[in-house]
Structure 1
Amino acid sequence: MNGSVPEMRRFTTFVLIAAVSLFSACGTLRSLNTGTQVDEDNTIVLPGDAREANNSDGTTIWDAFGPQYNEQKVQVNRYIWAASLDVLNFLPVQSVDPFTGVILTGYGTPPGGNQSYRATVHVRDPALEARSLSLALQTRNGRSVSPETLRAVEDAILSRARQMRIADKKL
């Protein structure tokens, strides 16, 4: 009987941890699916606290575990972000993180090309300027591309971002 009490405690602890993990994952997904807003300076604003719409007093169980968060600003220029995905659409996207402004792609071949590339894009600033964009291109054998090729892709991304901004202003 004595040997089963520690096992029972371990099982109870395991069930408790599993339940908390499950509920926290649901809360994270819910908060990510609430949508985004863009403020005047083209900064993406994500809601920091996901409240349940059917909850009458607006509180959730997660309010007991931490401070109340307001909105969190993400310092990423939306035009450069969208233009990067648009220009590099031939590359399979492996990972995107709007909080840090990083886009990681897998290997892909551009239309009409025979060399395979992968890209890492870092949008570092909310301004629509060249300094906001950091791009790294790599070939399948692990070598970096020539500076001219890198500059041409950066220019294509920045040109597309400017086109998107102009199109938005005309609406």
Structure 2
Amino acid sequence: MLRPSRLAVGLFAALALSACGGKAARPEGDLAASKVTTIGVNSYLWRASLDTLSFMPLLQTDSNGGVIVTDWYVNPQVPTERMKVTVSILDQDLRADAVRVAALREISRGGQWIAAPVEAATTQKLEDIILTRARDLRRGAITG
């Protein structure tokens, strides 16, 4: 049986090789295009979203539809609060309006989880982090 790390490397290699078949070579300047269609949404936004939410358990991912839904996450430093996040990638282009974050927050009162408001700044900050990471990934692909 393969260890998870070898399995992940094998799957990545297989996907990378299958994506190469039968297509004409791209011009050198198009290596890190802002429009990426192989997974249905912008790959930089997709990867950046996964990276940003990597500390939370994932409930659902759909790379063709561009949706990532986390399960409830309880910060060990604040055990009376939990968050659930949904990221939607709305475009194939790397643009500021191509990513939307929605969050749910609950607080524990008397052993029951009760819905609580999420500050707009929280979702805006997550969107900013995702966009910054996506731009860094794209920049790395251009210079790398």
Q: 5+ unaligned residues in a row in structure 1: which ranges?
A: 1-33, 47-73
Determine whether 1:130 maps to 2:110.
no
- TM-score by length of structure 2 reads 0.66
Determine whether 1:94 maps to 2:74.
no
Q: 5+ unaligned residues in a row in structure 2: which ranges?
A: 1-13, 21-25, 107-113
> Which of 114, 118, 132 is the aligned partner of 2:84?
118
**Is the Cα contact below 8 Å between 2:101 and 2:124 reproduced in 1?**
no
4+ aligned runs moved over 3 Å, structure 1:
36-42, 109-115, 141-144
> Which of the pair has more CA radius of gyration?
1
RMSD after superposition: 2.6
Aligned residue identity for 2:140: A
Report which of the two has the higher share of strand: 2
The size of the alignment, in residue pairs, is 111
Q: How does 1:9-158 map to 2 (within 5 A)?
A: 35=15, 37=19, 40=30, 41=33, 42-45=35-38, 74=40, 76-110=41-75, 115-140=81-106, 141-158=114-131
Deviation digits for residues 4-55 of structure 1 (CA, Å, limit 9, x no counterpart):
xxxxxxxxxxxxxxxxxxxxxxxxxxxxxx7364985442426xxxxxxxxx
**Is the Cα contact below 8 Å between 1:92 and 1:106 reproduced in 2?**
yes
- TM-score by length of structure 1 reads 0.56
Higher RCO structure (Cα 8 Å, ≥6 apart): 2
Identity of aligned residues (%): 30
**Is the Cα contact below 8 Å between 1:121 and 1:134 reproduced in 2?**
yes
